[in-house]
Amino acid sequence: MLEIFNTLTRRKEAFRPIEPGKVRMYVCGMTVYDYCHLGHARVMVVFDMVARWLRASGLALTYVRNITDIDDKIIRRAGENGEPIRALTDRFIAAMHEDADALGVQRPDAEPRATEYVPDMLAMIERLQTRGLAYEAGNQDVCFAVRKFDGYGRLSGKSLDDLRAGERVEVASGKHDPLDFVLWKHAKAEEPEDAKWSSPWGEGRPGWHIECSAMSSRLLGEHFDIHGGGQDLQFPHHENEIAQSEGAHGTTFANVWMHNGFVRVDDEKMSKSLGNFFTIRDVLKDYDAEVVRFFILRAHYRSPLNYADAMLDDARQSLTRLYTALKNVPPVDAAPDFDAPAGQRFARAMDDDFNTPEAVAVLFDLAGEVNRSGDAAVAGQLRALAGVLGLLARDPKAFLQGGAGEAADALAPAAIEALIAERQTAKKARDFARADAIRAELAGHGIVLEDGPGGTSWRRA
Mean pLDDT in each 10-residue stretch from start to end of the chain (461 residues)?
98 98 98 95 98 98 98 95 96 97 97 98 98 95 96 91 60 79 95 96 96 98 98 96 98 98 85 79 94 97 93 94 94 95 98 98 96 96 98 94 49 79 83 77 78 82 61
Instruction: Report the Cα 142 to chain-centroid distance in Å.
Output: 32
Q: What angle do CA 167, 204, 208 make, to 5 degrees?
A: 45
The model's pLDDT over 245-286, given as tens digits with 9 standing for 90+, comes to 999 999 999 999 999 999 998 778 777 667 788 899 999 999
Q: How many CB atoms lie within 10 A of CB 219?
A: 18
Report how far residue 374's alpha carbon sits from residue 70's, in angstroms, rounded to the nearest whole number. 55
* Predicted pLDDT at 410: 58
* Predicted pLDDT at 164: 66
The three-state (H, E, C) secondary structure of the chain, written as one string: CCEEEECCCCEEEECCCCECCEEEEEECCCECCCCCEHHHHHHHHHHHHHHHHHHHCCCEEEEEECEECCCHHHHHHHHHHCCCHHHHHHHHHHHHHHHHHHCCCCCCCECCEHHHHHHHHHHHHHHHHHCCCEEECCCCCEEECHHHCCCCCCCCCCCHHHHHHCCCCCCCCCCCCCCCEEEEEECCCCCCHHHCECCCCCCEEECHHHHHHHHHHHHHCCCEEEEEEEHHHHHHHHHHHHHHHHHHHCCCCEEEEEEECCEEECCEECCCCCCCCCEHHHHHCCCCHHHHHHHHHCCCCCCCEEECHHHHHHHHHHHHHHHHHHHHCCCCCCCCCCCCHHHHHHHHHHHECCCHHHHHHHHHHHHHHHHHHCCHHHHHHHHHHHHHCCCCCCCHHHHHCCCCCCCCCCCCHHHHHHHHHHHHHHHHCCCHHHHHHHHHHHHHCCEEEEEECCEEEEEEC
* Predicted pLDDT at 172: 46
Report how far residue 29's alpha carbon sits from residue 96's, in angstroms, rounded to the nearest whole number. 10
* Predicted pLDDT at 407: 37
The model's pLDDT over 24-40, given as tens digits with 9 standing for 90+, comes to 999 999 999 999 999 99
Please state the pTM of the whole predicted model: 0.86
* Predicted pLDDT at 114: 98
Please say whether the beta carbons of 178 and 144 come within 8 A: no
* Predicted pLDDT at 291: 97
Cis peptide before 236 (omega within 30 of 0): yes
* Predicted pLDDT at 409: 42
The model's pLDDT over 76-104, given as tens digits with 9 standing for 90+, comes to 999 999 999 999 999 999 999 999 999 99
* Predicted pLDDT at 165: 58
Q: Which of 322, 258, 273 is nearest to 293 (CA)?
A: 322
* Predicted pLDDT at 272: 66
* Predicted pLDDT at 438: 83
* Predicted pLDDT at 170: 47
